[in-house]
């Protein structure tokens, strides 16, 4: 696994038809400039496993400033990781310079400190700084050859998720790698190496210090990409879900149903709304909090106020771990407060006119599957719910756009006169 010379495997049957033509041109420009241009990471892993690659990342020895000069429509992003994004049509391709481990890495107290990640290196050093062996493979499109420094091809054949270097150090450098291990195990149906599993159990407390935005992004990848049930089970096996939802065990049946629904919608070519998924996963916490508030303040507060307070308390707890924007919070509040109307068939016409009614009935159906409400009630509302609107309403033009439009008309009128 630590051999100095890489293992090079030629892919005789490799066809470049699966590679986007703009990406092939990007590699040509980099090579003409005298630099390496290799595909790296998940796209190689997925191709070798017979899956359809989605993200194509490029690694090169050229510094970001040089890459930007060689490629049109390219710009540098990032502070911790300086990367180049090259736009081609509606697609953005990522180009990263070879890096090596920073000279000294301290175990992060909060995982929020900025370490000197822009320490550039060579191809071998770049391979050994990555998280798992199956993600450290390089593909040379010109030679049609896979370059393996860390035993990634062997682990792909063994269907094993193995860390590059001591897993304790890897997870202390970036705790999100523990979530990635769970995701890869679920998505690829791989086994996690015993050392990696032990290191996850020893370092899972570090997830409490991961930035909320990164946590949200990882959860979306875990639960909204077609393998939610397997990801949920993987998180349960590794006891990682407690870092996001401390009381998740009591909400297990509801979360499992939400994962099933997410996978079904993904398989049918649709995506479940992230806000709806969080609403379904948090419903049990909301229900428990509402009951507690009713017993504590039921005599002094109206029912509607109690429901709002319960929802705000749950959202406040969740925001300690995961970022939820204002729109998502309002969405969850709406479908929660509508449940009372649906259960009691209150204000039927007004309820059916609510913009979130379909999502609320969807949540009611999910609750029926776990035995919380009568399925006949769900059927009654589903017969009456408004049809789904395929076309989204056009966005309202900004006032700035209107001012420009009026200014243009005035100029045109003046020119004609």
DSSP code of residue 102: -
Instruction: Point out the catalytic residue in the list 36, 61, 131, 263.
Output: 131
Angle between helices 212-223 and 252-267 (to 10 degrees): 70
Name the β-bridge partners of 175: none
Q: Which of 182, 271, 198, 172 is nearest to 235 (CA)?
A: 182
Query: Tokens 């009713």 belong to which residue?
Result: 294
Q: Is 374 designated active site?
A: no
Q: Which two tokens stand for residue 122?
A: 């060579």
Taken in order 308, 314, 319, 324, is the CA torsion positive or negative?
A: negative
* Strand-by-strand arrangement of the 91-97 sheet: 7-10, 145-148, 137-140, 38-40, 57-60, 91-97, 83-88, 74-77
Report phi then psi at 189, rounded to 5.
Answer: 60, 45
Q: Which two tokens stand for residue 130?
A: 């990555």
Q: Is 57 designated active site?
A: yes
Q: Which two tokens stand for residue 323?
A: 């970022």
| DSSP codes joined into one string, 178-221 | HHHHHHHHHHHTPEEPHHHHHHHHHHGGGGGGS-HHHHHHHHHH
Cα-trace Rg, the chain:
26
DSSP code of residue 372: S
Q: Is 174 designated active site?
A: no
CA-to-CA separations, 328 to 283, 315, 389, in angstroms, rounded: 14, 10, 20
Instruction: Kindly state the helix (H) or strand (E) to which residue 101 belongs, with its residue range.
Output: none
Distance, in Å, from the CA atom of 274 to the CA atom of 292, rounded to the nearest integer, reads 27
**How many Cβ atoms are within 10 Å of 96's Cβ, its own excluded?**
19
Residues recognised as catalytic: 55, 57, 131
């Amino acid at each position: 696994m630590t051999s100095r010379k890489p293992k090079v495997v030629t892919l005789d049957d490799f066809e470049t038809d699966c590679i986007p033509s703009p990406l092939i041109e990007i590699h040509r420009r980099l090579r003409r400039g005298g630099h390496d241009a290799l595909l790296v990471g998940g796209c190689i892993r997925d191709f070798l496993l017979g899956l359809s690659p989605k993200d194509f990342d490029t690694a090169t020895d050229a510094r970001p400033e040089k890459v930007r000069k060689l490629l049109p429509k390219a710009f540098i992003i990032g502070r911790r990781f300086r990367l180049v994004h090259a736009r081609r049509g509606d697609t953005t391709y990522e180009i990263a310079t070879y890096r090596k481990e920073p000279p000294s890495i301290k175990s992060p107290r909060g995982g929020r400190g900025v370490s000197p990640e822009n320490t550039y290196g060579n191809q071998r050093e770049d391979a050994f700084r990555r998280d798992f062996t199956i993600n450290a493979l390089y593909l040379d499109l010109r030679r049609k050859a896979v370059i393996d420094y860390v035993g990634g091809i062997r682990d792909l054949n063994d269907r094993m998720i193995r860390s590059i270097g001591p897993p304790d150090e890897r997870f202390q450098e970036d705790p999100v790698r523990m979530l990635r291990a769970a995701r890869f195990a679920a998505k690829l149906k791989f086994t996690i190496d015993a050392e990696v599993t032990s290191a996850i159990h020893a370092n899972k407390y570090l997830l409490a210090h991961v930035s909320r935005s990164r946590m949200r992004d990882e959860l979306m990848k875990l639960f909204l990409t077609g393998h939610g049930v397997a990801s949920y089970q993987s998180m349960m096996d590794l006891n990682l879900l407690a870092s996001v939802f401390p009381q998740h065990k009591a909400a297990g049946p509801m979360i499992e149903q939400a994962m099933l629904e997410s996978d079904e919608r993904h398989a049918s070519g649709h995506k479940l709304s992230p806000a709806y998924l969080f609403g379904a996963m948090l419903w049990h916490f909301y229900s428990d909090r509402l009951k507690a508030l009713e017993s504590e303040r039921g005599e002094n507060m109206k029912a509607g106020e109690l429901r709002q307070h319960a929802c705000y308390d749950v959202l406040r707890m969740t925001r300690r771990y995961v970022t939820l924007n204002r729109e998502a919070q309002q969405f969850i509040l709406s479908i929660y407060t509508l449940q009372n109307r649906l259960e009691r068939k209150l204000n039927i016409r007004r309820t059916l006119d609510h913009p979130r009614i379909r999502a609320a009935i969807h949540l009611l159906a999910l609750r029926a599957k776990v035995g919380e409400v009568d399925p006949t009630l769900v059927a009654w509302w589903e017969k009456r719910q408004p049809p789904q609107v395929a076309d989204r309403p056009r966005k309202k033009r900004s006032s700035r756009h209107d001012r420009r439009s009026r200014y243009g008309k005035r100029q045109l009128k003046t020119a004609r006169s």
